[in-house]
Amino acid sequence: MPYRISRLGHVEIRSLDLDRDLDHYVNVLGLQLTGREGKTAYLKGWDERHAYSVCLTEADRAGAGRGKPRGMNLDRRLILVVGKGGVGRSTVAAAIAGQCAAQGKKTLLYETSANDRFGDYFGKPPVGDTLSQLAPNLWAVNATPRRT
């Protein structure tokens, strides 16, 4: 079975303190600042060919904004977002899930043993180990596997 790996065109992250968060994304995560316009900073990874993949926007509420898939097939039954810690998996997953739900697809965000961010992204209480509805067509759970 062939796998189709897609890149997210860009994801918008809403920030309460743009300068503080911009410092984190540049000096801790290693993204490159490619532009700044008003209350939005544009960033990309070191070897990305596009102008930016992250829009960091100052806002009244923190969380994920809109995401724009580039060549991504959202008609798949399962979309996995994987990567090492601290690279934005939760933010990317929330952006993709929000777009799928907005298209009318029943969508589940599933994390294991994570510090919950999904509730904040959608302006809801923290997500726990029971199913929580975050938006129309969008549910989330943060499961903790049992050790045997």
DSSP characters for 11-79? EEEEESSHHHHHHHHHHTS-PEEEEEETTEEEEE-TT-SSS-SEEEEE-SS-EEEEEEEES--TT-S--
Q: What is this structure's pTM?
A: 0.58
Rounded to an integer, the average pLDDT of 7-27 is 83
Residue 128's domain spans which residues? 79-148
Region 57-80 average pLDDT: 71
Is the predicted pLDDT of residue 130 greater than 80, yes or no? yes
Do 145 and 84 fall within a single domain? yes
- Domain match, 96 and 143 both: yes
Decide which of 21, 55, 71 is a domain's last residue. 71
The last residue of a domain, from among 71, 94, 112:
71
Which residue type, as a one-letter code, is found at position 46? Answer: W
Highest mean pLDDT among 64-68, 99-103, 112-116: 99-103
Q: Does the pLDDT value for residue 88 go beyond 80?
A: no
27 contact partners, CB below 8 Å, separation of at least 6: none
Residue 33: pLDDT band (50, 70, 90) is very high
| Residue 73 CB neighbours (<10 A) | 9
